[in-house]
């Protein structure tokens, strides 16, 4: 369902370690917004919500809510660092019109 690069796994594990509350995993969610219509939202989670799909990969638990599951099938998440910025980049085969920044899609 979701593939993470080694750099994405390392960045996600670092985020979990920095969380004040004991974390169970990370949530990847699709919401309306961004420059192309939909945006990716990630958050450290302390528990699984009813209806979540759980994806275990790279020693991490990813929680995907029911409304986002169809959008993230085949998603590949990377973490890139450039001279100007660093952050997660989402490569989604379901996106018909991804934006140039890689953070939203249509």
Record the tokens describing residue 44, joined without a space. 């450290």
**Domain range list for the chain:** 2-98
Tell me how far apart the alpha carbons of residues 62 and 4 are, in angstroms, rounded to a whole number: 10
d(CA 43, CA 62): 10
Looking at domain 2-98, its CATH architecture is Sandwich (2.60)
pLDDT at 29 over 90: yes
pLDDT, tens digit (0-9, with 9 covering 90-100), for 88-105: 988 889 888 767 765 667
SS3 48: coil
Q: Alpha-carbon distance 15 to 11, whole Å?
A: 6
Q: For residue range 31-56, list pLDDT tens digits in order.
A: 988 777 888 999 999 999 999 999 99
């Amino acid at each position: 369902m979701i593939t993470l690069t080694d750099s994405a796994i390392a960045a996600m594990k670092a985020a979990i370690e920095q969380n004040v509350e004991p974390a169970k995993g990370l949530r990847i969610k699709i919401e309306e917004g961004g420059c192309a219509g939909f945006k990716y939202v990630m958050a450290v989670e302390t528990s699984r919500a009813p209806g979540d799909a759980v994806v275990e990969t790279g020693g991490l638990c990813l929680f995907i809510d029911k409304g986002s599951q169809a959008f993230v099938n085949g998603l590949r998440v990377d973490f890139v660092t450039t001279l100007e910025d660093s952050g997660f980049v989402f490569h989604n085969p379901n996106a018909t019109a991804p934006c140039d920044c890689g953070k939203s899609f249509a």
